[in-house]
Amino acid sequence: MSDAHDDGLAVVMHLESARDLRAAQAREQVRKLMTAWAAGHAPGPVGASFPTRLQDALLACSELVSNAHRHGGGLTRFAARIEAGHLLVEADDRSSLPPVAHTGARTDPGGFGWALVQTVASDTEVRMHAGGSGKTVTVRLPLS
């Protein structure tokens, strides 16, 4: 079930059935959210950088969802919202281990997702849940 609304300050979208959510589905929800936001702000602050910002957001979204499934014991919650000129994407998983940047040889396959997320985001935050029951990874991406 998804729920989206614009309360005048932020556009909020939560996907409550995250366990089966895949990266492509999350990307589509973020694409719709950002496109709706841009339509309400065009031509204003959206500007020529919007296509790049959208691609950055879709990349970050893919990596967060994929990493939660691959390394975090499964995605337990996914949310995206727009506030104060930024897209905030949150992914919760079951692991109490923080994401780590790849430290292996550059020829090793995979493992570069967290570094990519940190490159495109203006800010990242990892909050551990009480009792070691998982974590929330929040990524803030500029919209203009």
Residue 59 has pLDDT above 60, yes or no: yes
Of residues 124 and 42, which shows the higher confidence score?
124
Residue 66, phi then psi, degrees to nearest 5: -60, -45
Per-residue pLDDT reduced to its tens digit, 76-89:
889 899 988 899 99
Structure pTM? 0.82
Question: Could you tell me if 63 and 115 are in contact, meaning their C-beta atoms sit under 8 angstroms apart?
Answer: no
Q: Is residue 3 predicted with pLDDT exceeding 50?
A: no
Phi–psi pair at 9, nearest 5 degrees: -110, -30
Separation between Cα atoms, residue 29 and residue 13, nearest integer Å: 8
| Block residue for tokens 């109490």 | 96
Instruction: List, in order of start, the domains of the chain with CATH numbers.
Output: 19-142 (3.30.565.10)
Arithmetic mean of pLDDT, 97-101: 89
The whole-angstrom separation of Cα 141 and Cα 82 is: 9
pLDDT confidence band for 8 (50 / 70 / 90): very low
Give per-residue burial for 43-64: e unless 16+ CB within 10 Å, then b: eeebeeebeebbebbbbbbbbb
Among 38-52, 68-82, 92-106, the range scoring the smallest mean pLDDT is 38-52
